[in-house]
Amino acid sequence: MTSTVPASLFRANGSSALQAVFLDMDGTLVDTEGFWWDAEVEVFADLGHRLDEAWRDVVVGGPMTRSAGYLIEATGADITLEELTVLLNQKFEQRIDRGVPLMPGADRLLTELARHDIPTALVSASHRRIIDRVLASLGADRFALTVAGDEVVRTKPHPEPYLTAARGVGADPVLCAVVEDTATGVAAGEAAGCRVVAVPSVAPIAPSAGRVVVRSLEDIDVPFLRTLIATPRGL
């Protein structure tokens, strides 16, 4: 575990002030970040363009509009953003319909949150149609609320998705924990005032004051999250 706070502090019995936990989907709970890149590679290959592997770190975790827009500009592909969005969603849906692998520790963490009656929300930049398909694997009943990227005016890295989740469960964002795998998602959670735990998937995320970086969801449990909320900011 990499953290700006000693691990022993986080593993101690923490405060019960934790009001809710918000989790990203792709790359955090389900191992699908690679699915998106594969879909992008396939769609652009059909359009006659080859994607540079270096672009993967640029588009990971971003909203569809930003990622697709970047790839159109980078390749010069003759396609509109709206057309590309449809094609990418179709390719991605084909992949997830064959099964969605959960990230290590995801099932255990969701079960533990439910056992402690901690309101849990799924907050994703993916569109509603994608989220509903993935929920078939995750279990829709495990979430008090789900927020999709096409249901907010401004998606990640803007704080709106996490502020929406906090309002939806009646929680103070300052007393909520966010679990994210990308810099874009981390930025959104921090901008909303939540305490963020980063579990990097594709691209590394640097620790900073008030941010915890761990290797896996296996490193996260309810006492860890409660103590995170109870720890003064900046430590």
Task: Lowest mean pLDDT of 2-11, 72-81, 136-145, 203-212, name the range.
Answer: 2-11
CB atoms within 10 A of CB 21: 26
Write down the pLDDT at residue 63.
73
104, with CB counted inside 10 A (0-12, 13-18, 19+), is: middle
Stretch 86-106: mean pLDDT:
90
82-96 residues labelled b (16+ CB within 10 A) or e (exposed): eebbebbbebbeebb
Q: Maximum distance among all alpha carbons in the chain?
A: 56
pTM for the structure as a whole:
0.79
pLDDT, tens digit (0-9, with 9 covering 90-100), for 185-206? 999 999 999 999 999 987 889 8
Q: What is the distance, to the nearest Å, from the Cα of residue 65 to the centroid of all Cα atoms in its chain?
A: 16
Residue 197 is classified by DSSP as: E
Write down the pLDDT at residue 224.
97
Q: Does pLDDT of 7 surpass 60?
A: no
